[in-house]
A = this chain, B = another copy of it.
Amino acid sequence: MKPISKEQLLEALNWRYATKRFDPNKKIPDDKWQTLERALILTPTSYGLQPYHFIVMTDREKRAELLAHSWNQQQVVDCSHFVVLTARTKMTEADVDKFVSRMIEVRKLPADAAQKEGSQLATYRGMMLGDVVHGSRGKIAHEWATRQTYIALGNLMTCAAVLGIDACPMEGIIPSEYDRVLNLEKTGYATVVACALGYRAESDKYASLPKVRFEASDLIRKI
């Protein structure tokens, strides 16, 4: 693996900012977008369970329907690709088994690998069930899934930055209205946050404002 340089990473992270105005005429090229989608899919999650679903919107008319539920933030329609990040509303045994089946498929394990008592996969399945379904995380399953979705959001924004793509994370949306417009109500997923991606407009004065971060000593303690 060929790492990037420290300078290149920091340059990208300093270049990025929460883009207020996107250039509506600039589209993310297909190959770059495919890369970002792949990056999103590769997000790490707790146990690997991926308790989320992403809606990628390029249709501007449909996006316009979301404007009123997004405090009229124009990024929703002006960006190239608008991603709605949704999280599982609860976790069931079926969710865990879907993932276990996928493990068996991808890693070419015996079909009954999770049924053999004491096997590694059976143990892993039991751990997941005892935690995110029947255990303490099961009680806050949607919130736990939301946290995983925020890992995806963080990953997505950083990946976009290193690829030279602008992004604006958006918590200022009305999730229940998004759910209604996007017909999510019976899917078992609910909107938690969104992210607009594309290219900054030259007129966006926010691009040149100095970043505001607390001092390192305010944010980090060393032991």
Chain A residues within CB distance 8 Å of chain B? 1-4, 6, 8-16, 18, 31-32, 35, 37-44, 46, 48, 50, 52-59, 62, 98-99, 102-103, 106-107, 143, 146-148, 150-159, 162-164, 169, 171, 182, 193, 209-214, 216, 219-223
Inter-chain CA distance A214–B102, complex, in Å, is: 7
Inter-chain CA distance A115–B56, complex, in Å, is: 41
Given A42-B14, A209-B107, A223-B55, verify A9-B162 contact (CB < 8 Å): yes
Chain B residues with Cβ below 8 Å from A2 are 8, 11, 164
Chain B residues with Cβ below 8 Å from A50 are 213-214, 219
Chain B residues with Cβ below 8 Å from A6 are 31-32, 35, 163
Within the complex, the shortest CB–CB distance from A170 to chain B, in Å, comes to 10
Main secondary structure of the interface of A (DSSP, over half): helix
Chain B residues with Cβ below 8 Å from A35 are 6, 9-10
Chain B residues with Cβ below 8 Å from A62 are 223
The reply to whether B39 and A13 contact each other, CB–CB distance below 8 Å, is yes
Chain B residues with Cβ below 8 Å from A164 are 1-3
Chain B residues with Cβ below 8 Å from A56 are 220-223
